């Protein structure tokens, strides 16, 4: 037996009320179906079809336009403020991985790499708001979103540095400024020789170096820049700004390289570690220890560590006498070793670098 919902609408031709019958299926319901239930967005599948929502048609005895709207809410939500996946006059709606990704991150504030549960339903409506809509069943979805890391990182290569002229030799990262993403800092030890900067370990381009009193780059379609020169062994403060740098222009770039004589006599630490709710052991002992550089005892790193969304700090010698933090960015900052705020971390797997000379740190997602 066909269930009939009788709704009233005013005729365009007169003020008499006409009856519009919205016919749904034999069970008296607008039924939504979806082939899958779990969707993992990656760097590569964004434009691909994730799934197709489909439902049975609603019919009317009087020809009118019916709009089907796909609504989504957090699992267990009451759809009082739903987000919209799409609207159509047809009985199917195709969803790409990008569409699911955008709604999860931009509308629900989901964390990249973290699965979250959602409820989806279809609403069938007419143009007249006085006519009550027909609401489908609710289906569940699990969406694991992906977020492209928005920054460009720089690493040392060259025989003035720890990695020599090997582009995939645990190269030391520079510390990106938390305010200006085009500026990078490094305070540490160099040998009397030369170095350049690479964007990606294992690849020679993009490659940065001095050019025409500024900074030049070869991104693979240009010529290699010169090398930065260290005149004597020792500690230096190096800052580089790559604003506007292209193959053919130095833009507004600049760099400074000045001796840091205090570096050689700065105190060293027995151990350095991360601790906090975002770390593997939370705020409890044991801390998650970092690895001290054998080239420069003030440089520390921790590679391929999985963090959860939350807070953390870096501290020395498993004690709170010396600790660093900064909440100005999820990925980089500078602590002052003076009751610093906790770092705010997004879930993911990271390579972490820390410099105890100036308190700078950087978290680089492993992609």
Q: 306-324, pLDDT tens digit by residue?
A: 999 899 999 999 999 999 9
Per-residue model confidence as pLDDT tens digits over 31-69: 999 888 999 998 789 899 999 999 998 877 777 889 999
pLDDT attached to residue 15: 31
Give the β-pairing of 49-55 and 291-292. Answer: unpaired
Does the pLDDT value for residue 156 go beyond 50? yes
Does the pLDDT value for residue 22 go beyond 90? no
Identify the DSSP state of 35: S
pLDDT bracket for residue 13 (50, 70, 90)? very low
Per the structure block, which two tokens stand in for 245?
Answer: 């740098």
pLDDT attached to residue 16: 35
Q: Name the residue among 192, 186, 182 with its Cα closest to residue 172.
A: 186
- Average pLDDT of the residues of the chain: 90
As a whole number, mean pLDDT of residues 326-347 equals 94
As a whole number, mean pLDDT of residues 58-81 equals 89
Nearby residues of 38 by Cβ (< 8 Å), 6 or more positions away? 115, 141, 142, 144
pLDDT attached to residue 20: 44
**337 versus 58: which is more confidently predicted?**
337
pLDDT attached to residue 35: 84
Per-residue model confidence as pLDDT tens digits over 179-234: 999 999 999 999 999 999 999 999 999 999 999 999 999 999 999 999 999 999 99
Per-residue model confidence as pLDDT tens digits over 261-283: 999 999 999 999 999 999 999 99
Q: Name the residue among 300, 292, 297, 295 with its Cα closest to residue 191.
A: 295
Find the range with the poorest average confidence among 124-138, 236-250, 281-295. Answer: 124-138
pLDDT attached to residue 3: 33
% pLDDT > 90, the chain: 77
pLDDT attached to residue 6: 38
pLDDT attached to residue 260: 97
Nearby residues of 13 by Cβ (< 8 Å), 6 or more positions away? none
> For residues 39 and 143, is the Cβ–Cβ distance under 8 A?
yes
Domains of the chain: 4-144 (2.60.40.10), 149-265 (2.60.40.3620), 267-367 (2.60.40.3620)
As a whole number, mean pLDDT of residues 143-149 equals 86
pLDDT attached to residue 257: 98
pLDDT attached to residue 48: 94
**51 burial class (0-12, 13-18, 19+ CB within 10 angstroms)?**
middle
Does the pLDDT value for residue 21 go beyond 70? no
């Amino acid at each position: 037996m066909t269930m009939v919902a009788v709704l009233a609408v005013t005729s365009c031709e007169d003020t008499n009320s006409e009856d519009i019958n919205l016919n749904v299926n034999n069970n008296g319901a607008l039924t939504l179906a979806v082939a899958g239930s779990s969707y993992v967005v990656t760097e590569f599948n964004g434009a691909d079809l994730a799934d197709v929502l489909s439902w049975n048609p609603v019919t009317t005895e009087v020809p009118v336009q019916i709009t089907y709207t796909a609504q989504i809410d957090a699992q267990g939500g009451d759809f009082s403020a739903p987000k919209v996946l799409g609207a159509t006059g047809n009985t199917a709606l195709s969803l790409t991985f990008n569409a699911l990704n955008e709604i999860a991150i931009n509308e629900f504030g989901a964390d990249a790499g973290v699965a979250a549960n959602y409820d989806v339903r279809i609403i069938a409506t007419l143009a007249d708001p006085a006519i009550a809509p027909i609401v489908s069943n609710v289906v569940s979805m699990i969406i694991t979103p992906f977020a492209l890391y928005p920054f460009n990182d720089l690493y040392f290569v060259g025989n003035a540095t720890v990695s020599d002229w090997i582009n995939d030799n645990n190269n030391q990262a520079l510390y990106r400024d938390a305010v200006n993403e085009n500026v990078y800092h490094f305070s540490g030890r160099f040998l009397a020789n030369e170095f350049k900067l690479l964007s990606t370990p294992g690849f020679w381009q993009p490659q940065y170096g001095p050019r025409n009193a500024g900074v030049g780059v070869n991104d693979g379609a240009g010529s290699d820049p010169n090398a930065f020169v260290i005149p004597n062994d020792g500690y230096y403060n190096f800052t580089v700004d790559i604003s506007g740098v292209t193959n053919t222009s130095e833009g507004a770039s600049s760099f400074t390289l000045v001796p840091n004589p205090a570096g050689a006599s700065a105190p060293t630490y027995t151990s350095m570690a991360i601790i906090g709710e975002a770390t593997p052991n939370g705020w409890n002992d044991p801390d998650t220890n970092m690895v001290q550089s054998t080239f420069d005892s003030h440089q520390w790193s921790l590679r391929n560590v999985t963090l959860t969304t939350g807070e953390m700090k870096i501290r020395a010698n498993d004690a709170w006498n010396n600790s660093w933090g900064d909440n100005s960015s999820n990925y980089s900052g500078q602590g002052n070793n003076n009751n610093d705020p906790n770092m705010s971390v997004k879930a993911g797997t990271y390579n972490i670098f820390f410099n105890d000379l100036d308190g700078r740190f950087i978290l680089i997602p492993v992609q």
